[in-house]
C-alpha cells in the first residue's frame, strides 16, 4: 500500500507535526509513504523518517505557478502510483480536488484540522468540490458536525478521527525540569503555568496575560511560560512590559522538544479563541499536568472534564479555574495529573494510526 500525503508546507504548526508523525508511523509499518508539499518551506524536514520520500512543488501565489504545480503533481502521481492520496488542510485539500478533475487517481481523502478555516468562501469551496473526494475527516466531533451542518462535507462520507501523539515521548519526569526552571529564574516555591502554541490572535495570549497578571498580584509566587513563536511575538513582548509582567512572564520562543517545559511546570492553560483539536492539551495531559482550557474546537472533547473547561473569552472564569488549580493541595494535583495521563491514552499515536490503516485498507478493497 502506498500513501501520498499532500500538505501546504512543512512549516511549524500543529497540523504539520501531526501529519509528519502519522507518516513516520505508517512508513514504520512497511507501507510506502511520500509527503508532497505545495510550498518551499522545510522547517520540519529533519523530523521526517528517512524512509519517507518528500517532494516539493515550489508553488507560489501566482496562477502560472499553480498550473505548473498541477502538472508536476500529476506527473509524480502517474509515476509513483499511490493507492491513497490524503490531503491535509484547506489549500492542499482544494489542490487535490482540482487535480482530480484532470487526473483520476484511485482514492482521495481530505482532512481538515480546525473548526474555523478562514471564512465562508472556503466553506463554500469545500461544498462545491465535495463530489471530488471519497472521504472527508476532521479532528474533532464538534468540527465535523459543523462542516456537515454547513453542507461543506457530505454526511454520508464524513467521519472524525482524532490527532495522536507518541506517548513514549511525552511522560512525567523531574530530572530535567530543574534546568528549565533555573534558566527562566523560577524558584523552587514558584507555581508555573505554561502555554504552548503559535503566537497568533487565535491563541488569545493577551487574555491569558491579563488573567495571570491579576493572579500574580494576589499570590506573588507564580510564573507564566509561553512557549512558541509567531507574528505577535514583538507585540506580546511589549504587552508584557506595559502590564508590568516582565519578572513573571517569559516568552520562551520555539522549542521542538517541549516535554522538558511541561515537566518544569505545574499547570497547562489554553486560552484560545478557536482551535482545531488542541494537541498540546494531550501532550500536557500525557506529562501528568492538570489543565485548564477554553471550549474552543475539540478541546472539551480532549479534556473530558467540564470542571476545567471555560467558555471562550470568559476571562473571569479562566481566572477562577487557574486559581482553583493553584490552591489545590499538591497531592490533589498529582491525582488529577495521573487521571489526565490515563485520558491521554485515547490519543495514542499507534491506535490513531491503526484507525487510518483500517480506513485506507477499506477503500483499497472497495
pLDDT of residue 175: 67
Between strands 53-56 and 32-37, the pairing is parallel
Q: Beta 84-88 vs 2-7: how paired, if at all? A: parallel
* pLDDT computed for residue 176 by the predictor: 60
CB-based contact 262:194 (threshold 8 Å): yes
> Which grid cell sits at 196?
504552548
Do 2-164+348-365 and 178-346 show the same overall fold? yes
CA-to-CA distance for 12 and 277, rounded, in angstroms? 16
2-164+348-365: which CATH architecture?
3-Layer(aba) Sandwich (3.40)
Question: What cell numbers appear for 192 in the block?
Answer: 508555573
Confidence (pTM): 0.91
Give domain limits for the chain: 2-164+348-365, 178-346
Read off the DSSP letter of residue 129.
T
Per-residue pLDDT, 43 = 75
Task: Please give the grid coordinates belonging to residue 322.
Answer: 487557574
Give 19: exposed, middle or buried? Use CB within 10 Å, 0-12, 13-18, 19+. Answer: buried
Q: Is 252 helix (H, G, I), strand (E, B) or coil?
A: strand
Write the CB contacts of 333 (distance below 8 Å, at least 6 apart in sequence): 266, 267, 290, 325
CA angle (62, 64, 66) in 5-degree steps: 70
Between CA 82 and CA 3 the distance in angstroms is 6
Yes or no: say if 342 and 295 are a contact pair by the CB < 8 Å rule.
Answer: no
User: Is the distance from CB of 114 to CB of 143 less than 8 angstroms?
Assistant: yes
Stretches in the chain below the pLDDT threshold 50 = none
Which of 222, 291, 217, 278 shows the shortest CA–CA distance to 250?
A: 222
Q: What is the pLDDT of residues 18-31, one digit of tens each?
A: 999 999 999 999 99
**Are 41 and 16 within 8 A, CB to CB?**
no
- What angle (nearest 5°) sits at the alpha carbon of residue 144, between those of residues 140 and 98? 115
CATH topology of domain 178-346: Rossmann fold (3.40.50)
Amino acid at each position: 500500500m502506498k500513501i501520498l500525503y499532500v500538505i501546504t508546507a512543512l512549516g511549524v504548526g500543529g497540523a504539520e507535526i501531526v501529519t509528519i508523525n502519522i507518516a513516520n508511523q505508517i512508513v514504520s509499518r512497511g507501507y510506502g509513504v511520500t509527503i508532497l508539499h505545495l510550498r518551499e518551506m522545510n522547517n520540519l524536514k529533519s523530523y521526517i523518517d528517512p524512509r519517507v520520500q518528500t517532494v516539493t512543488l515550489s508553488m507560489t501565489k501566482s496562477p502560472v505557478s499553480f498550473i505548473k504545480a498541477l502538472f508536476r503533481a500529476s506527473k509524480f502521481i502517474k509515476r509513483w502510483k499511490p493507492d491513497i492520496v490524503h490531503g491535509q488542510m484547506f489549500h492542499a485539500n482544494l489542490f487535490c480536488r482540482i487535480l482530480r478533475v484532470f487526473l483520476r487517481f484511485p482514492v482521495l481523502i481530505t482532512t481538515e484540522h480546525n473548526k474555523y478555516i478562514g471564512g465562508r468562501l472556503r466553506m463554500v469551496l469545500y461544498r462545491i468540490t465535495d463530489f471530488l473526494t471519497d472521504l472527508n475527516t476532521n479532528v474533532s466531533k464538534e468540527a465535523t458536525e459543523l462542516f456537515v451542518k454547513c453542507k461543506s462535507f457530505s454526511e454520508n462520507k464524513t467521519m472524525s478521527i482524532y490527532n495522536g501523539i507518541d506517548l513514549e515521548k511525552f511522560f512525567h519526569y523531574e530530572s530535567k525540569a530543574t534546568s528549565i526552571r533555573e534558566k527562566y529564574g523560577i524558584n523552587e516555591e514558584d507555581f508555573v503555568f505554561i502555554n504552548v502554541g503559535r503566537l497568533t490572535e487565535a491563541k488569545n495570549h493577551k487574555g491569558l496575560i491579563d488573567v495571570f497578571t491579576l493572579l500574580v498580584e494576589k499570590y506573588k509566587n507564580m510564573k507564566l511560560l509561553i512557549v512558541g513563536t509567531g507574528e505577535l511575538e514583538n507585540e506580546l513582548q511589549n504587552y508584557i512590559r506595559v502590564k508590568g509582567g516582565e519578572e513573571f512572564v517569559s516568552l520562551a520562543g520555539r522549542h521542538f522538544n517541549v516535554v522538558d517545559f511541561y515537566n518544569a511546570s505545574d499547570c497547562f492553560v489554553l486560552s484560545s479563541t478557536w482551535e482545531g483539536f488542541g494537541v498540546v492539551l494531550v501532550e500536557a495531559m500525557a506529562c501528568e499536568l492538570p489543565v485548564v482550557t477554553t471550549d474552543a474546537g475539540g478541546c472539551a472533547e480532549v479534556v473530558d472534564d467540564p470542571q476545567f473547561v471555560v467558555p471562550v473569552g470568559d476571562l473571569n472564569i479562566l481566572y477562577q479555574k487557574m486559581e482553583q488549580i493553584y490552591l489545590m493541595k499538591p497531592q490533589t494535583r498529582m491525582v488529577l495529573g495521573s487521571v489526565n495521563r490515563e485520558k491521554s491514552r485515547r490519543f495514542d499515536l499507534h491506535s490513531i494510526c491503526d484507525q487510518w490503516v483500517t480506513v485506507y485498507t477499506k477503500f483499497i478493497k472497495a
